[in-house]
Structure formats: C-alpha cells, structure tokens
Structure 1
Amino acid sequence: AGGRGEQPIKFNGGLFTVGSDQFDEDYRQWGGGGFWFQNTRLIYWSMLESGDFELMDPFFLMHNRSLKLHEARSMRWYQHGGVRVPEVAMFWGGYAGETYGCEREDQPVWAVSNPYIRHSTSQGVELLAMQLERLWYFDIPSRAAGEFLEGLILPLLDGVVSFYTRHFQEDREGKLILSPSQCLETLQEAINPLPDVAGLVHVLRELLSLPASLLPASVLTALQGFSSKIPKVMTGRQRSNGQCERSARVTTKETLSCLQETRRPAGEDDTERFLPAELWLDKRENVENPELYPIFPFPLFGRFQPPSQNISHGIAASSFRHRRVSCNVGWCQDIIQASLLGLVNETVAMLVDRVRAPTLRFPGFWLQHFDFTPEVDHGVVAKLALQKMLIQSAGDKILLFPTWPRGWSVHFRLHARRNTVVEASCEEGRLVFLNISPPHRRKDVVFAGEACHPSRHEANLVEVEE
C-alpha cells in the first residue's frame, strides 16, 4: 500500500511511524515532507529483479514532474540551464527549508546552508542509471521501451548533461573540472568526485549500448561529444608520507589536501585502488564509501563485468577489502558490493547478520539505524544483495548463482533484462530445475559462481556455456 500512491515510499518509516516516550506517533526523524535521495533510491533499486516495475513509477514520476522547477532554479541561481536533482527535496522538487537554510540575510540565492548536500550533484546521474536499468527490463526494442525512453529518460538526460557542461569549466585537455563539488555527504570538498565520474561513465556506456534505433541521431552525436569531456576514474597507491600525487592539470582549489583515503597498517601490501576523487579534503563527515561507487550503484567493475578503462577486477576487490568504513546496517552498501564482486563468504556473513538484526513485533520491521523505525533501508539492502547472489547481468548475459554458497538450497523466480523471467531450484549444490521465459534467452545463461551447476546428464536443463 505504501508504494502504490502518487508519492514514493517514505524511507523513514514507510506508512508506519512509532511513538515513544520522547515523540508522539506522528513524528518522523528527518521530517515528513522531504525525500532524501540517498536513502530513498535503495528501495527502488531492489524492485528490478523482483519485477515490481509498477511500484517504481511514483519515484520516477515525482522527479519527472520536478524537471521544469530544476531548470528554472538553475537559471535563477547560476544563470544557465540544466537539471541538478537535490539530495533533499520536497515532493514538488524544492529544497527542504532546513537544508536550504531559513536565515538568508547576506546569503546569495544559490548558497545552500547544509554542507552535507551543498555541492552534491550525483543524484541526477544515479536517477538516470536507475531509469536506464529499468529500460533494459523491457522487451528491447519495443513500443513500451521507446515510450519510457522518450517520456522519462531523454528529458532527464538532456537536463543533467546540460548542467554538467554549463556549470563546470574544462581543463586544457577539454575534460570537465567538477568543482566545487563533494563526494556524497562524506567528503564535502572535492574535485572530480568518483560517484559523479563513475556515474557519468556508466550512464554513457549504457546509453551507447542501446540499439541505435532507440536513440535519435542528434542525441547520439551529443552523447559522443559529451563522453570525451568526462574525467577518468582515478586510482592510486598509498605513499609513504600518506599523500598521493597531485594532478598537474587541476589548478583549482590548491589548498585541498591530496590525502589517500585509506589508512593501512605499516607493512601491508601497497596495492592500487579507487580514489574517492581527484583531489579532496580528507575530513570524513559520514560513513559512506564513495570509492566503491564504481561497483554499486554504477557497476563498471566487478568480478563478472568486462574491464573498463583498463582497470582490473583486482583493483575493485582491493578497494573493497581496504574500504575506509565497514558497515552492515541501514543504507550501507557493503553487502551489495560484496555480492557483485563475487565474495561469497563475506556476502553470506553479512546477509545472516542483517536478517538477525532486532526487529519490532512484526518480522521485517527493523529497528532504527540511520533513518527511523521501522527502518526500510535495512531490509531492502538485504533483499537487493540476496537477488545479486542469485542473478546478475553482464550485457545480455544472464549470470546465475554468481555469489551463491555451496551448502544452501534455494528456489527462486526473478526477472532479468530483456523482459526475461528466470525460475530455478538448487538443492545440495546441484541445479535441479530451470525455466527461462522466453525460451530463446536460454542461450544467454551463464553459471557464473561455484555452486548450483547442472550435472552433465542434466544438460537438457539449459545450454551451459563453458
């Protein structure tokens, strides 16, 4: 019921709020009218494999209705067009008052008072990524896919690309310098933050991989031009003095410390990993791991993904192992990223830990970690990770049981790209049932993990790719 109305699901309690000795039953931490993008998005990422496509519409449509307001705000604030989706917005698209700031004396109109969201811009990119992933779950090409692309994706795409190209300067090589900017809420001063960069690379890759008949020629030309402006994904190694090399081509904000984000004990291997930005002020204000965004929500790198920008899977795995913050409650994404990296033992341990967390009277009504009681994100993150343990995509390939443990039995029915439904059973580590609809998609199935392969005499279950 909470997801079928005009408004998205509230991350801080859903339909339900719980009174206490301090607050009455109408209270919600983080407010009642606003939607935090970082917290709300995970609810909708978890709906793809489960096939709850109609439940995603309120989230998409709320943002679609706000595009004209975002354009007008950019013109008023910055004297240029484009769409910047706020991290904290009311359902009509305006900034929530307490985050924009109510004391406006001597403040320019564009000055957002809350430093946790002041310069954040990755929300529109992630919304595009989610809509593009939803597009792949249609039968492509089809009339429905074309209508979804034209009605939702292209207007947002035009606004987001316009904002990035008009708002930020270019360096001598024609690459965008994303500054002033920040890495989520955690690193509040940064140049070329990795969530933005990885998101733009991922979105452009997905768009350019669509059938050419879906995209107008003018859009294709514009995308190809814009792709040349996106900065590269930054990687680096720990230096003995705790610093990384300063980029010679970035000349703005020279006061930023170019400090490597990860601190490791002396003598540990000096392995390369993702950097959270090209330059950043090393003052952590939250528990996010921005250096892991190229794994999720922008899956450029993972055990089952082809290499991108000549960066190996090992760099992604190293980045995860040496992440600054380990967290397995609420909206923390560690378990999702572990499942996409194929880390079976780590994923299983985190899944068991999550589902054993204390609940209220009803199972699945989790106690508060970050948001409010019942804690919606705690459950949907576990749900999404469980789905990724069972099924993942790599282009048109359907990857089955990529992170599934050998000793677990399971029966599932989940959705995959290109209007595909997969139903399978695994018992004692062996595949005993598999049905793919439509049948022609059987040729795209790959048994990617170490568990639940069909026996040789059961080859008629599916075409097995060696």
Structure 2
Amino acid sequence: MRNGRELDEKGKLVIYPSTSCESYRGATNPSDVLAGLKACLQRLIILDEKYITSEEKKYFAAFLSVVPNYPFAEKDGQNIIKPAEKWLVEANQELPQFYPLFPFNQFKIGDIEMASFKNAYTQAPAFRKGTIISWHQDGIFFARMGMKHEAANYNTKKLKDSERRFPTFWGPGHDWTPDHNWGGSGMIGLQEMLLQTVGDKIAVLPAWPPDWDVSFKLSAPHSTIVEVEYIKGKFRMLKITPVARQKDIILPERIAP
C-alpha cells in the first residue's frame, strides 16, 4: 500500500508499523516479533506430515525465508542487538531485544551472537534494567546469557519472602498485591539457571553457581526427565529418562563462559 512492493530490496518483509513489546512504538522489524515468527515457522516445517501437508510446509518454509534478519548493529564500538530496526517513540520498561533468547530459543550459550546480547544489556538505559519487582525478566535473560552471578543475585531477590502473612503474596509491583508475576518470572529464571533446552540439546546447570548445592527433577522436550543431585561442585546423580536422550546432554564444563 505504501510503495507497491511486497518485499524490500533484500527480498525481506518489512514489518511496520509495529511495536517491540510495549516499549518501542512505531517500530520496524521488532526483535520480539521476528523471534516469534521464526520460532513458529521453524517448528511448523518440521512437524510430522500427519499434522501438516507438504504443500503447507513449502509455504511456511518460503515464509520463513523472507522474515527479516535480527537487527544486530554496532553502537559505541560494540556489537549489540537492537529492540527493533528502528522506532519512533519509547515508553515502558521492557527489554524486547532479549526475546530471541527467551521465550523463543533462537540462540544458546556458546553462540558467537551472545556477546551482542551481553553488550546490549550493558548499553540498555538504566531505567529498563535491574528492576526486581513484578514481571521484570532480567533474571531469565541473565540465565540465558550464562551470567551465573547476576542470575543468582537477581533471582534470589525476586523470590525472597514477601514479608506478608503469606510468603508468596508479593507486591505491589506495577499494579497490586498479590502480584504473582514475581513468582512466575522468578521461577522461570531459577529453572533456566538449572536447565536450558534449545533444539534437541539439554544444557544442565548452564547458569548455576558452582558453589551452590542443588537437587532437582525437571521435564524437558520429547517426554524427557532430568534428575540431578549436585553437591560441593560435583554431580552425585545425573539421571536422564529415557536413556537415549543422554547423547543430547551438555554439562557445565562443556558450556562456554
């Protein structure tokens, strides 16, 4: 409608006008939207054909090929990922440039792009980061970047006693008490410190402080159960069910810092 062309000069869609979470408005190609599109399309094209036809797979594969690339850029001499290619107005406090990490699993610890995510956090405006209250997700993003100390510090504060009659009646955050967003984002942050899955790989203790003892049992994709007892810096138990999934396990010593 604006220029008579469906795609840009690189053969990619132009997603505009949009928003990147609620924070970056009038946005072009927002990182969170791109990550969500890519994640959905990637999963659709590998579905069994009893759920989706080969023609539909071709359509979704073609769709995936024209989804724009993530807006990586250089700022102040550092490579970063931006919340969108560009935008008109800023508001609110979200960090949508980290949605490709979580919840959309587009990158994992050890990928070369992780440095751009860490730089983006460092360069993010102060009012957008470090907030503990309510839904804020920094603890999840720290875990997905493999930042053990930061994840441990943040998620410990997120999940502390509410100091009310009921320990989990957190708040007020941005809205009311009880604000169970504290517990939701805190629990996800804690679990991401313990276990991360990208594709078929299962990273065990990817962002867990080595001096913290822990025992847990968690589910992973493909009907997988991971049971761990980690005491004084050593695995006392590591049980994977079914056994065939052991080949997909990544232990801490094999995860890049």
Same fold (TM over 0.5): yes
The change in CA–CA distance for 1:211 and 1:318 in structure 2 (over 3 A counts) is farther
Q: Distance in 1 between matches of 2:108 and 2:123?
A: 16
Match of 1:315 in 2: 116
Match of 1:447 in 2: 251
Match of 2:221 in 1: 417
SS at match of 1:174: coil
Q: Distance in 2 between matches of 1:346 and 1:405?
A: 10
Q: Does 1:343 pair with 2:147?
A: yes
**Structure 1 segment 25-424 matched on structure 2, within 5 A:** 169-210=6-47, 214-238=51-75, 270-281=77-88, 283-304=89-110, 307=111, 312-324=113-125, 325-326=128-129, 327-356=131-160, 358-424=162-228
- How big is each residue's C-alpha offset from its partner over 1:5-42, in whole Å with a ceiling of 9 and x where there is no partner? xxxxxxxxxxxxxxxxxxxxxxxxxxxxxxxxxxxxxx
Q: Distance in 1 between matches of 2:183 and 2:253?
A: 24
- When structure 1 is superposed on structure 2, of 203-212 and 348-357 the one drifting more is 203-212
Structure 2 residue ranges without an equivalent (≥5): none
AA paired with 2:28? I
Structure whose alpha-carbon radius of gyration is higher: 1
Q: Distance in 2 between matches of 1:400 and 1:222?
A: 36
Q: TM-score, normalised by structure 2?
A: 0.88
Structure 1 residue 358: Cα displacement: 3.1
Structure 1 residue 199: Cα displacement: 1.7
Q: Distance in 2 between matches of 1:367 and 1:417?
A: 33
Structure 1 residue 223: Cα displacement: 0.7
Structure 1 residue 206: Cα displacement: 2.9
Q: Distance in 2 between matches of 1:438 and 1:426?
A: 20
- How big is each residue's C-alpha offset from its partner over 1:173-230, in whole Å with a ceiling of 9 and x where there is no partner? 4322212212121112111122111221222223334456653212211111111221
AA paired with 2:212? W
AA paired with 1:279? K
Q: Distance in 1 between matches of 2:198 and 2:24?
A: 31
How many positions carry a matched residue from both structures? Answer: 248
AA paired with 1:313? M
Q: Distance in 2 between matches of 1:208 and 1:317?
A: 31
Q: TM-score, normalised by structure 1?
A: 0.50
Structure 1 residue ranges without an equivalent (≥5): 1-167, 239-268, 452-466
The change in CA–CA distance for 1:280 and 1:364 in structure 2 (over 3 A counts) is same
- Confirm or deny: 8 A CA contact 2:200 2:248 kept in the other structure: yes
- How big is each residue's C-alpha offset from its partner over 1:66-106, in whole Å with a ceiling of 9 and x where there is no partner? xxxxxxxxxxxxxxxxxxxxxxxxxxxxxxxxxxxxxxxxx
- Confirm or deny: 8 A CA contact 1:401 1:449 kept in the other structure: no
The change in CA–CA distance for 1:213 and 1:315 in structure 2 (over 3 A counts) is farther
Match of 1:108 in 2: none
The change in CA–CA distance for 1:184 and 1:368 in structure 2 (over 3 A counts) is same
RMSD: 2.2
Q: Distance in 1 between matches of 2:220 and 2:241?
A: 10
Structure 1 residue 376: Cα displacement: 0.9
The change in CA–CA distance for 1:177 and 1:351 in structure 2 (over 3 A counts) is same
Q: Distance in 2 between matches of 1:214 and 1:289?
A: 35
The change in CA–CA distance for 1:213 and 1:448 in structure 2 (over 3 A counts) is farther
